[in-house]
Homo-oligomer: A and B are copies of this chain.
């Protein structure tokens, strides 16, 4: 009930108290009851958080309002960040196959393996392949001849400088991102060129398996125990040029994850969301949907569903693909969708309508949903159906959807407890790692001064709740997470 008149300082304080309480209860996680030890841990955390934000208000240097490439070093000096690193964050549900592993490993390990060849395109981008003997003919005529990297490195004066140049080719990171990437097209072009560059490395069968294992390990070390990966399942090749099909790749994911689970009992596994590129012709997407149906039939506990990836503004819309996307329901087959939608600033355009179509097509989750708050009817329905958005703040900032993360639309959604999970999209390309940087941005920037441990806990719980885990798997995962959570709380409360 709205207040009608205030006539004293006492009634101001009372009215404030009521408003604070109402907003707390509306906030994501605001209704969680904390145990005594959690309250103590929360006190410690909030003291640090308030000190850091208060200092930032003075210095006007606040990492969430700075570009991540410049903020990263500052973030790493934050005590809050180090607590978030230790916090069991649950699952990461929005990741892409080859954007997960620190590119250092690609450069310092993978490119040093035997039989690694490089070629240079006229545009200055790179390609790699593993082969023996050195392939004489070029696969692509827009590239130089293949050079054995070992020989190439031997002739270099400064190998470190060369290796650093590889790192620059494998990430979006740069000193002056505003200058380097004047608009979204520019950064998506670089994004695609990274994918081109690493493709020959990561699709080599031994590297492919190692890459999966490294992904699991990096996230595990970052206190993430379950992953869902959007995967394109492009052909994986052997040294002799022989290639494998999608089933082979799914099996590789399955085997590597199983081995990792054996070595790490707290690890809860990995599921795949088969994906295709939204640049493709609608006719081709029909085949991809059928492939997704087939893979899900063959690997019901590994393949969770289907998605479409790539730059939304320039790609096909879900509406363009409707015929393909209706195949499963017409044929009575269940194929959950996990659509990227609303990763755009262009409200009211056909691109922006992807959000409407993701809702209509019963998407299980929405990738990004950056434009959701511009669509109140879609927002209402998604909330009613408990369909979460996957918020990836670092990605949204680097890909130029928003500059100051305090203006990220998730601010309002978090304030009203809209269903959401936090993820990191392609941390490797952004110079990030795991999930903690994104949690930091959410906790400090999107959440504001008053968002506390309740929200963090709810986000971790949400990451299982909204996952594609089966009910029994979910129960197990939550139970495993909770043990780790309690240990974390115990340590934080003691400090």
Take A2-B385, A184-B60, A356-B19 as given contacts and tell me if A448 and B347 are in contact as well, using a CB distance cutoff of 8 Å: yes
| A16 contacts chain B at the CB level, 8 A cutoff | yes
| A158 contacts chain B at the CB level, 8 A cutoff | no
Number of interface residues of A (CB under 8 A): 70
Mark each residue of chain A from 349 to 379: 1 if its CB lies under 8 Å from any CB of chain B, else 0: 1001100110111100000000001111110
Q: Closest Cβ of chain B: how far from A446's Cβ, in Å?
A: 9
Q: Closest Cβ of chain B: how far from A117's Cβ, in Å?
A: 36
Q: Closest Cβ of chain B: how far from A357's Cβ, in Å?
A: 7
Q: Closest chain B residue to A350 by CB distance?
A: B449
Q: Closest chain B residue to A8 by CB distance?
A: B326
| A52 contacts chain B at the CB level, 8 A cutoff | no
| A180 contacts chain B at the CB level, 8 A cutoff | no
| A470 contacts chain B at the CB level, 8 A cutoff | no
Take A19-B377, A53-B349, A411-B374 as given contacts and tell me if A3 and B329 are in contact as well, using a CB distance cutoff of 8 Å: no
The one of B8, B16, B65, B349 in contact with A353, judged by C-beta atoms closer than 8 angstroms, is B16
Interface centre among A345, A375, A449 (most CB of B within 10 A): A345
From 50 to 86 in chain A, residues with beta carbon under 8 angstroms from any chain B beta carbon are 53, 57, 60, 65
The one of B53, B348, B404, B412 in contact with A449, judged by C-beta atoms closer than 8 angstroms, is B348
Tell me if B7 and A330 are in contact (CB < 8 A): yes
Residues of B within 8 A of A381 (CB): 2-3, 19
| A155 contacts chain B at the CB level, 8 A cutoff | no
Residues of B within 8 A of A451 (CB): 348
| A207 contacts chain B at the CB level, 8 A cutoff | no
Q: Closest Cβ of chain B: how far from A102's Cβ, in Å?
A: 30
Tell me if A346 and B449 are in contact (CB < 8 A): yes
The one of B7, B360, B407, B409 in contact with A12, judged by C-beta atoms closer than 8 angstroms, is B360
The one of B19, B323, B447, B450 in contact with A378, judged by C-beta atoms closer than 8 angstroms, is B19
Q: Closest Cβ of chain B: how far from A418's Cβ, in Å?
A: 10
The one of B9, B60, B352 in contact with A323, judged by C-beta atoms closer than 8 angstroms, is B9
| A33 contacts chain B at the CB level, 8 A cutoff | no
Q: Closest Cβ of chain B: how far from A384's Cβ, in Å?
A: 5
Residues of B within 8 A of A356 (CB): 16, 19-20
Residues of B within 8 A of A294 (CB): none
Take A2-B384, A346-B53, A402-B404 as given contacts and tell me if A416 and B448 are in contact as well, using a CB distance cutoff of 8 Å: no
Tell me if B347 and A450 are in contact (CB < 8 A): yes
Tell me if B7 and A374 are in contact (CB < 8 A): no
Tell me if B9 and A326 are in contact (CB < 8 A): yes
The one of B7, B15, B416 in contact with A329, judged by C-beta atoms closer than 8 angstroms, is B7
| A44 contacts chain B at the CB level, 8 A cutoff | no
Complex: A65 Cα to B329 Cα, angstroms = 40
| A26 contacts chain B at the CB level, 8 A cutoff | yes
Complex: A65 Cα to B183 Cα, angstroms = 11
Tell me if B322 and A12 are in contact (CB < 8 A): yes
Please list 23 pairs of residues, one from A and one from B, whose beta carbons are closer than 8 Å in the complex, sorted by A's number.
Answer: A6-B361, A6-B362, A9-B322, A15-B360, A16-B319, A19-B356, A19-B377, A19-B381, A60-B182, A347-B450, A348-B449, A348-B450, A349-B449, A352-B448, A352-B449, A373-B411, A373-B415, A374-B412, A376-B412, A402-B404, A407-B407, A407-B408, A412-B412
Interface residues of A, Cβ cutoff 8 Å to B: 2-3, 5-9, 12, 15-16, 19-20, 22-23, 26, 53, 57, 60, 65, 178, 182-185, 313, 319, 322-323, 326, 329-330, 345-349, 352-353, 356-357, 359-362, 373-378, 381, 384-385, 401-404, 406-409, 411-412, 415-416, 447-451
Query: Given A2-B385, A347-B406, list of 4 further CB < 8 A pairs?
Result: A16-B319, A16-B353, A16-B360, A349-B449
